[in-house]
A and B are shown apart, each in its own frame.
Chain A
Amino acid sequence: MKIIECDGKLVCTLDGHFDTLQSQKLEDELKAHLKAPQSVVFEMQGVTYVCSAFLRVCISVAKIVGAGQFTLLGVTPPIKRVVKMAGMSELFVCE
């Protein structure tokens, strides 16, 4: 997990398996960096698995930075399916 702040944008490069414990670590890391207004990008190319705890982190980010300011990039098809089933496709960009 790598978090870089640049020109008002927070870019989080994530990889691996985001189970409940790893999602908690992400949430803790983000607390130190996240502030509104700010756009946030999760680079997801290396992420192979997310659970509902990760999706709850995404909801929290969307709540803080506002609609349209949060993007998930490089999302694999199985994770896209989970995001869609959770009804979260409308909350942030997922591509």
Chain B
Amino acid sequence: MSTEPGTIFERRFHNRHDDLSRVTAEAMRFIEARGVGDEAVYLANLTIEEMVTNILKYGYDDTAVHEIRLRLEIHPGTLRLVLEDDGHEFDPLKAPEPDINQPAEQRVPGGLGIHLIRKLSEQIDYERCGGRNRLTVRIRC
């Protein structure tokens, strides 16, 4: 676990909700302190929460401790967020879109978090590398 000064925030944490809450709060404090705007802070928070919650729910068949890596880079006009995990291979870009035009009674749960990140972020890239998922999300800031 380490934090670099300046414009890069890095954490390695376990696949536990408490760890997710703690690291997300630290990450938000880091980017807020460096002048990242409210809208980008909100979206960064949403991205970390939605993507890591998916990893916690669906990424592992066991109850063992796994390591999740988060890196945030602040560039002029862009926030680059990278998440890595050793869970099941999962490309969110290939996940089916929820039908958001259905009335409430016909809505099915699931897929809404990924849908939001797709809609609100500038760019998403996914790769499977060395048995790990690597998701990179660019957010306008």
* Given A59-B104, A85-B120, also A51-B17 (CB < 8 A): no
Determine, out of B37-45, B71-79, B87-95, B124-132, the stretch whose residues face the partner at the interface. B37-45
Say whether B116 contacts A52, CB under 8 Å. yes
Residues of A within 8 A of B105 (CB): 63
Say whether A87 contacts B101, CB under 8 Å. yes
Q: Least Cβ distance of B35 to chain A in Å?
A: 17
* A67→B106 CA distance, assembly (Å): 12
B107 contact from A49, A52, A59, Cβ within 8 A: A59
Q: Least Cβ distance of B38 to chain A in Å?
A: 7
A52 contact from B21, B39, B42, B50, Cβ within 8 A: B50
Say whether B100 contacts A49, CB under 8 Å. no
Say whether B103 contacts A52, CB under 8 Å. no
Say whether A20 contacts B112, CB under 8 Å. no
Say whether A62 contacts B104, CB under 8 Å. yes
Chain B residue, CB-CB nearest to A79: B42
Q: What 1/0 flags go to A25-38 for Cβ under 8 Å of B?
A: 00000000000000
Q: Least Cβ distance of A25 to chain B in Å?
A: 13
Say whether A78 contacts B42, CB under 8 Å. yes
Main secondary structure of the interface of A (DSSP, over half): helix
* A63→B42 CA distance, assembly (Å): 28
Say whether A63 contacts B113, CB under 8 Å. no
Say whether B116 contacts A86, CB under 8 Å. yes
* Given A63-B105, A82-B46, A85-B120, also A21-B112 (CB < 8 A): no
Q: What 1/0 flags go to A16-27 for Cβ under 8 Å of B?
A: 000111000000
B17 contact from A20, A52, A82, A87, Cβ within 8 A: A20
Pick 13 A–B contacts, CB within 8 A, sort by A: A19-B24, A49-B45, A51-B46, A51-B53, A52-B112, A53-B53, A56-B109, A62-B104, A67-B103, A86-B100, A86-B115, A87-B100, A87-B101
Interface positions of A (Cβ within 8 A of B): 19-21, 49, 51-53, 55-56, 59, 62-63, 67, 78, 81-82, 85-88, 91
Interface positions of B (Cβ within 8 A of A): 17, 21, 24, 38-39, 42, 45-46, 49-50, 53, 100-101, 103-105, 107, 109, 112-113, 115-116, 119-120
